[in-house]
Amino acid sequence: MSLKEIFGQTRIVLIFVLLVSILFLSGCIGEKTPKQKKTYTIGILWMNPSTDAVKGFKDGMREFGYVEGKNVIYLYRNAMGDEEKARIHATELVAKNVDLLFVGSTPCTLIAKDATKGTDIPVLFTVVSDPVGSGIVQGIESSGNNLAGISSITEGSKRLELLFDILPNTKRLGVIYNPNDKSPQKTVAQFREVLENTNIELTEAYIQSPEEVEGAVRSLIGRVDVIMVPPDSMVMANPGPIIKASYEHGIPLGMPNRRGVEAGGLFAISSDHYELGKRVAKMADRVLKGTKPRDLPLEFPYNYIISINLKTAEKLNITIPQSVLKRADYIVE
C-alpha cells in the first residue's frame, strides 16, 4: 500500500472518530440539560376576608413542591361579598386559561362552575357547607363534572349547642343571612329544626348585598338576645355593623369562624379552614398530574375548632364557663 493510500485511510478514520465524538458529546450535553418544568398558573377566587383556607392551600402546595414565583403563579381575586364582581373575576381568570381554579364559598363555587362550562379548567373548592344540595356536585362519590373539593359543613346543631353552653338562658335568637346563598340556608334550616319544639323564638333578617347588613342589624335590635351569623360570604364581607351593634346594645354574636371572633364576635365553632386548604392542595397536586376532578370523591372536615373572645365577653359582662374554655382551640384575651 502506498504512502498516499495510508494517509487517505487515516484521514477517513479521523473524520469518523471526530463525528462520533461530536455525536457523543451532543448526547452528553443533552442529558445534562434539565428538562424544562412547567410553570402552573392557578386562579384563586374568594369572596370574604377570611382567607385561612387560601394560606393553607399555598402552604400545602409548597409542601408538594409548587413554589410561588418558581413553578407556580397565583392569580388571587377577592370580590368581598359582591357576586357581580366575582363573576367578572371568574370570567377574567378563565380567559387567562389558568391550569386550575381554587375557590371558596358556595356562591363563588357556583360562579366558577358556570364560568368554566365548555372548558377543561378544573375547579377545586372548599368553605362550602352543602356541595350536593347546592347543585355544585352530583354526589359524594363523584362530582360528575369538572369540580371537586372539601365541604366545610358545621351542623347547625353544633353551633346551637355551643351557644346554649355559653348562654343557656337565651330565649330570642336572631340570624342575618343572604337567602340566595345555599350555605346559610342550610344552617338556618337546621336552626329551625332544632328549635322547633322549644320555646326559643327565631327571628330572621335578610340581606342581598353587603350594604344591607347595617339595616338588617338594626331590625333585630330589641327583638333578640343573641345574633347568630351563619356561614355567609356576603355578611362576613361587612361585619363592622354587626360588631358595633353587639357592643352598643349588648348583643352577643355567634360567628361562623375564627376570623369573626377575632373581629369582635363572642364565639364560633367551625371546621379548620387552614386544614381544609392544605387538603385541597393534595387534590390539586393529583389534578395537575392528570387526575380528573370527577374521579375525586367529596371530602369532609376531620375536626372542628372552637374560638372564644374573652375581651368581648368582658365588654358584654358575660362569663364564659370553664367547661367551654377547656374545649376552646383559640382564645382572644
Pairing, β 253-255 against β 267-271: parallel
Question: Is residue 57 classed exposed, middle or buried when 0-12, 13-18 and 19+ CB atoms within 10 A define those classes?
Answer: buried
Higher-pLDDT residue of 284, 2: 284
Segment among 14-18, 185-189, 290-294, 316-320 with least mean pLDDT? 14-18
pLDDT at 23 over 50: no
Q: Which amino acid is residue 204, in one-letter code?
A: E
Q: What pLDDT is attached to residue 17?
A: 47
Length of the chain: 333
Pick from 75-79, 105-109, 235-239: least confident:
235-239
pLDDT range class, residue 12, cuts 50, 70, 90: low
pLDDT for 222-267, tens place per residue? 999 999 999 888 888 888 999 999 999 999 999 999 999 999 999 9
Given a cut of 90, whether residue 44 has pLDDT beyond it is: yes
At residue 53, φ and ψ (nearest 5 deg) are -65, -35
Q: Is the pLDDT of residue 28 over 50?
A: no
Which of 12-21, 209-218, 312-321 has the weakest average pLDDT? 12-21
Q: Would you place residue 2 in the very low, low, confident or very high pLDDT band (cuts 50, 70, 90)?
A: low
Question: What's the pLDDT at 32?
Answer: 39
pLDDT at 282 over 70: yes
Grouping H, G, I as helix, E, B as strand and the rest as coil, residue 224 is coil
Q: Among 30-34, 50-54, 199-203, 206-210, whose mean pLDDT is lowest?
A: 30-34
Q: How confident is the model at residue 301 (pLDDT cuts 50, 70, 90)?
A: very high
Which architecture does CATH list for 156-270+305-332?
A: 3-Layer(aba) Sandwich (3.40)
Cell 402546595 maps to which residue? 61
At residue 155, the pLDDT reads 86
Average pLDDT over residues 88-117: 97
pLDDT higher than threshold 50 for residue 201: yes
Q: Name the residue ranges covered by the structural domains of the chain.
A: 40-153+272-304, 156-270+305-332
Give the per-residue SS3 of 154-181: CCHHHHHHHHHHHCCCCCEEEEEECCCC
Contact at 8 Å (CB) between 236 and 260? yes
Check residue 181 and give its pLDDT. 86
Strands 253-255 and 226-228: parallel
Residue 30 CB: number of other CB atoms within 10 A?
A: 8
Residue 326 confidence (pLDDT) above 90: yes
Average pLDDT of the chain is 90
Max Cα separation, the chain? 120
Q: What confidence score (pLDDT) does residue 311 get?
A: 97
Q: What is the CATH number of domain 40-153+272-304?
A: 3.40.50.2300
Give the per-residue pLDDT at 10.
Answer: 52
Q: Provide CB contacts within 8 A for 141, sequence distance 6+.
A: 297, 298
pLDDT digits (tens, 9 = 90+) for 114-170: 999 999 999 999 999 889 989 999 999 999 999 999 999 888 999 999 999 999 999
Per-residue pLDDT, 22: 46
Fold match between domain 40-153+272-304 and domain 156-270+305-332: yes
Higher-pLDDT residue of 214 and 73 is 73
